Structure 1
Amino acid sequence: MNLSRPAGVLILVAAGALAACGQDKIAEKVAPLEITQGTSCSLDGMLLADYPGPKAQIFYAGQTEPEFFCDTVEMFHVYLKPEQVRPVRGIFVQDMGKADWDEPRDNWIDATAAYYVHGSKRRGSMGPTLASFASEGDATKFAAQYGGKVYRFADVTPDMVVLDGGALHDSTM
């Protein structure tokens, strides 16, 4: 194949641009944002700073700001819904082994690497929550003190994060 010089230059420029795009994807990592007094939950508008328990945030492809959640149950509920499948650039929860339960700030960790305690006596902003931890030891210690069972991110199922507040199982209504 014999290409003219301008066509060859165009091919090289296009190949370089495509290679640079691939590098941008690698460098496009996101870092968690800290909540402020005005940060509100993407689902219900509640102010995150006003409630106890672990918070969460999801960065979706095509969005520069994350969607914040006032509770890990809400985050999992949205993330695990089949109709909500969107490319995720980053997902973060707070390490409750370091954060103050009543006023959690900072201490963001990769949600996919975290340990979660489901079924504890501790309540988050929406009631029962999944306490999130960076270390398995902290999660196990929390479960021993407050009850519950330790799970990994991939082991959390949709039936563990229903947002009905128990109303579906209330036979007294």
Structure 2
Amino acid sequence: MKTLLDSSTKLPRRSLLIAGMAGLAGLGLTACGKSAEDSQQALVPAEIDPRSTCDLDGMLLADYPGPKAQIFYEGTPQPLFFCDTVELFNTLLRPEQVRAVRAAFVQDMGLADWDQPRGHWFEAKNGLYVLGSKRHGSMGPTLASFSREDQAQAFIKSWGGRLLRYAEIRPEMVDLSGGALHDSRM
């Protein structure tokens, strides 16, 4: 019985070795592609609980009204939470933000209770945002987040503001500096 590596085989050993290595490399790339794809599919927003805190200021998320947010960074299995969408966008739009973001999620305020929002997460980049409404979040004026335009328009009709898409939000709209200076309640 002859084996593929016998000297009488028509394919030289070198060709078989190269073909075998190319096949293994192809399998490795396929496996890498699947695992990266699987990790993206497996990424789901985490739910806040009574102990969840904002990663910027340590505030308890459950103690404050308005939309919350979270970012999953590359290499980090747990998200960083934000007690307000303004904090999320302030973080994402800073020029020094260089960490690779796997996903950012916000709450759909067309479905969530404004005063005690839980659940109803969706990808921030797919959202519609209302800037300048009379409703405040944990940091004061906020960007109300919605997954559907009709719900955002109904919110605007009740609370005022203007509709923005994710890409329309600019750093000057989410500036966190000096917020306490303009808060007359403090």
Partner of 1:98: 111
Larger Rg: 2
Q: Which of 129, 144, 162 is equivalent to 2:142? A: 129
Q: Which runs of 5+ in 2 are unaligned?
A: 1-11
Partner of 2:35: 24
- Look up the match of 1:162: 175
Residue 60 of structure 1 corresponds to 73
Unaligned 5+ segments in structure 1 are none
Aligned to 1:119: 132
Question: Structure 1's 107 and 5: CA in aligned 2 closer, same or farther, altered over 3 A?
Answer: same
Structure-1-length-normalised TM-score: 0.91
| 1:165/1:132 CA distance change after superposition, 3 Å | farther
2:52 paired residue number = 39
SS in 2 for 1:84: coil
Q: CA RMSD in A?
A: 1.9
AA matched with 1:14: A
* Cα distance in 2 between the residues matched to 1:100 and 1:57: 18
Give the aligned length.
Answer: 170
Q: Which moved more, 1:136-145 or 1:96-105?
A: 136-145
Rate the CA distance shift 1:115–1:5 in 2: closer, same or farther, 3 A: same
Counterpart of 2:156 in structure 1: which amino acid? Answer: A
In the TM superposition, what is the alpha-carbon distance from 1:9 to its structure 2 partner?
Answer: 2.3
Q: Does 1:74 align with 2:124?
A: no
Distance 1:165 1:51 in 2: 20
TM-score, normalised relative to structure 2: 0.85
Q: 2: distance between equivalents of 1:136 and 1:108?
A: 16
Q: 4+ runs of 1 displaced by more than 3 Å?
A: 4-8, 165-170
